Structure 1
Amino acid sequence: MQFVEGLPAGIYVGQTTIHHEKMEPSQKAELAGFNLALHVNDDPARVQQHRMNLLEDFRSFGVNKMTWMTQTHSTICHTINEELPFLALEGDGLVTQKAGHALMMMTADCLPIVLGNEDGTEVANLHAGWRGLANGIVENTISEMKTQPTWAWMGAAISQSCFEIGEEVKDTFCHKYAELEIAFKAGEKAGKFYADLYEIARYILNLQGVTLVLGGDQCSYTQADQYFSYRREAKTGRMATFVFIRSRC
C-alpha cells in the first residue's frame, strides 16, 4: 500500500489502482481489475470482498470504519464522525475529525481531491467532475470543515489532452473566473476545447486559501495499466481515493 508523502504526521492518503494482490476473479473482462463500485454491474459480493480487503489493509493503521457514498455530481458534503445507520449517503464530499475512520471516494476520470488542516486533526475527501468544480463542491466542502485546510492532494483524473468538452463548459468556468481561460485549449473541431481539471482545481483551491496542492500528475485515460477510465471504456470499474487519520488506540 502506497501513501502520499509530505503530509502532516498521522495522515494517510492514497488511491487504489486496477491491481491488488487479493483481487477477486471476474467473468466480465471490463471489470477484471480491483473494482470498488457497486453501480457498474459487477457482482456485489465481489465488490464487497474488495472493500473488505481494503479495510483489512488499513487495520494496522487503526482504521475500523470506512464510509462510502452514492456520488451524484452534486455539491453536497457530509461530516461523518459517528457510526451511521444503515442508509446510503448521497453527495460528493465527506469530512471527519475522527481518527480511524477512512473516507472513500470513487472515480474513473473525475478528479478526487483530499484536504486537511495543518495539525492533522481534520480531513476531507471529495469527488470533482467538471460540474462539481463549476458548482462549488470544493467551496462547500471547505465550508463544511471546522478548520481551514492548508493542503490538498489531487488523485488521478483525465488529463487535459484527453478531456474534450463543449464551449458551454468553458463558458461556465470563464464567466465565473476569467482567469481560467488558461485552463482551456482550443480543440480540432469548432466549438470544442480541452479542459484541464487539475488547473481548474488548483485555481479554486488557491482562492480558498489552500496554497500547498500536491498531485495532479497522472492521467486515468492514458495510463490503462493503472487506472479505470469511463471515457476510455464506458463499461468499466472505479478506483477509490482514501484518507484517514491514524488511530493510536
Structure 2
Amino acid sequence: MLIRPDWPAPNNIRALATTRLLPAGASVAPESRYSGFNLASHVDDNPRAVEAHRRALLANAAADGLREVYWLNQTHSTTLVEVPRDRDIDLAVCPDADASISRRCGVASAVLTADCLPVLLCNRGGFEVAAVHAGWRGLCQGILLKAVAQMMSPSQQLLAWLGPAISAEYFEVGAEVREAFLRDFAGPSAAEINCAFSSPHTDRAGVTRYFADLYALARMQLKALGVSAIYGGEFCTYGDAERFFSYRREPRCGRQASLIWISENP
C-alpha cells in the first residue's frame, strides 16, 4: 500500500511512494469525490478529504521521523525551491515549483503525480534530499538537471530513485515531443534520445506518433550528469489501475505522492 524504495540510501534517509490503496489505519473520508487515497488538493476533491488523507500519511510515517510534508503547487516548470531551515513552515502556502530540496530533519520534500515521473534524490552523507516532478515538459526543459546541480554534494555522491510513472508501453506522444527532446534535452546524445522513442506509427489522421520512455530519458540524463546509482523504474501508473491513479487512463483522478526526508532516528 505504501511503496518503500529498495536502494542503499543512508540509514537516516526515509522515502516512500503512496498508492491509491489505503495505508494501515487510514480510511477514505466519506466526502471524498475520488476512489482511493488522493493526496492532491487541486483536483476538485473535497478539501476535508484531502486533509484527512494527508494526516493519515503523517501518522503512518511518524515512526520514521516524519513531522511535516512540504507540498508544492506544481506547474510543469523548472522551478526548484529549498525547504526553509531556520523558521517555521507555513504549510498553508505552497510555492509554485516542481522540485524541492530539504536539509531539515523531519520535513519531507514531496511531489504529486498521476503519470508524470517522480524522482527522489539523496546524498551518501545523508544530509540532503530532493523530490522532483518530472513530466515530459519539465524533464525536457531541465528540472532534473537543475535539481542535481543545486545539491551541495557532487553528482557522484548522489543516489536516485525513480518512482511510479507511466511506462513507455502506454505513453504515446506526438513527433513534436521527440523533436523537443532532440533540440533541448541536455546531456544525452541524439542517438540515445532516439532510443527512448520507439515504434513510430501514424494515427488515423496520418500524424506520426511515438511511444516515449520517461524512465529511460531520466536514467540517461542522470548518468550524463554523473549520477550512476539509479534505482526504481519498474512501475506503470497507467497499466496498474488497482494501485495507481493515472491521468491518461482517467483524467478525473487523484494523485499519489512520492516523498523523501531526513530522519532524526536512523
Name the TM tier (shorter chain): over 0.9
Q: Which contiguous aligned blocks of 4+ residues in structure 1 show a shift greater than 6 angstroms?
A: none
Aligned equivalents of 2:122 and 2:3: distance in 1? 18
Aligned equivalents of 1:148 and 1:56: distance in 2? 34
1:235 corresponds to: 252
**SS of 2:201 mapped into structure 1:** coil
| Deviations 1:19-38 (CA, angstroms, capped at 9, x unpaired) | 11413245666x11000001
| Deviations 1:29-48 (CA, angstroms, capped at 9, x unpaired) | 6x110000011111100101
Q: Structure 1 residues 228-237 or 94-103, which shifts more?
A: 94-103
Structure 1: segments with no counterpart, 5+ residues? none
> Is 1:225 aligned to residue 242 of structure 2?
yes
> Is 1:107 aligned to residue 113 of structure 2?
yes
| Deviations 1:122-160 (CA, angstroms, capped at 9, x unpaired) | 110000000011100011112221112421000010000
Mapping 1:47-196, distance limit 5 Å: 47-82=50-85, 83-85=88-90, 86-149=92-155, 150-176=158-184, 177-178=189-190, 179-189=192-202, 190-196=207-213
| Deviations 1:155-181 (CA, angstroms, capped at 9, x unpaired) | 010000100101010011123441211
Identity across aligned pairs (percent)? Answer: 36
**SS of 2:178 mapped into structure 1:** helix
> Is 1:41 aligned to residue 58 of structure 2?
no
TM-score (norm 2): 0.88
Structure 2: segments with no counterpart, 5+ residues? none
**SS of 1:46 mapped into structure 2:** helix
**SS of 1:217 mapped into structure 2:** coil
Aligned equivalents of 2:264 and 2:142: distance in 1? 31
Q: Structure 1 residues 113-122 or 187-196, which shifts more?
A: 187-196
The amino acid that maps onto 2:35 is: A
2:12 corresponds to: 10
The amino acid that maps onto 2:83 is: I
Q: Is the 8 A contact 1:17 1:239 kept in 2?
A: yes
The alignment covers a number of residue pairs equal to 248
